[in-house]
Amino acid sequence: MTHVRNRLEDVEESISLGVAGVNILCNIDEERLASMRITLDDYVEDLIKAVNLLKQVGLEARVSVENYWQQDARRAMRIFKLVDKLGVDRIGLAD
């Protein structure tokens, strides 16, 4: 199991290492996303691609929201509902 950023290249690198699964750590903080020059909508699209890739190659897919307790609950629930529909194996609330 590797723990990676929500970046397709990180997921691809994990796959190439032969891991059994990947935990994608999501940062949904508005200021942090702005500093990364990405919108939440674009971030979500990247997450969809990453989870779909993991499911396509048959690896365990986990998704956690970083600093969950300090985040906007609506934004977090958007992520959780999405990844539930995508069929992730585990959802986490990272502190």
Residue 95 has pLDDT above 80, yes or no: no
What is the pLDDT at residue 87?
97
User: Does residue 93 have a pLDDT over 90?
Assistant: no
**Would you give the distance in Å from CA 90 to the centre of its chain?**
11
Largest CA distance in the chain: 35
Q: Which of 95, 77, 94, 90 is nearest to 51 (CA)?
A: 90
Q: What is the pLDDT of residues 24-77, one digit of tens each?
A: 999 999 899 999 999 999 999 999 999 999 999 999 999 999 888 888 889 999
The per-residue pLDDT for 86 is: 97
| Tokens 């969809």 -> residue | 48
Model confidence, pTM: 0.92
Residue 94 confidence (pLDDT) above 80 = no
The pLDDT assigned to 71 comes to 84
- The stretch 75-91 carries a mean pLDDT of 95
Residue with the bigger pLDDT between 8 and 95: it is: 8
Counting every residue, how long is the chain? 95
Q: What is the pLDDT of residue 57?
A: 98
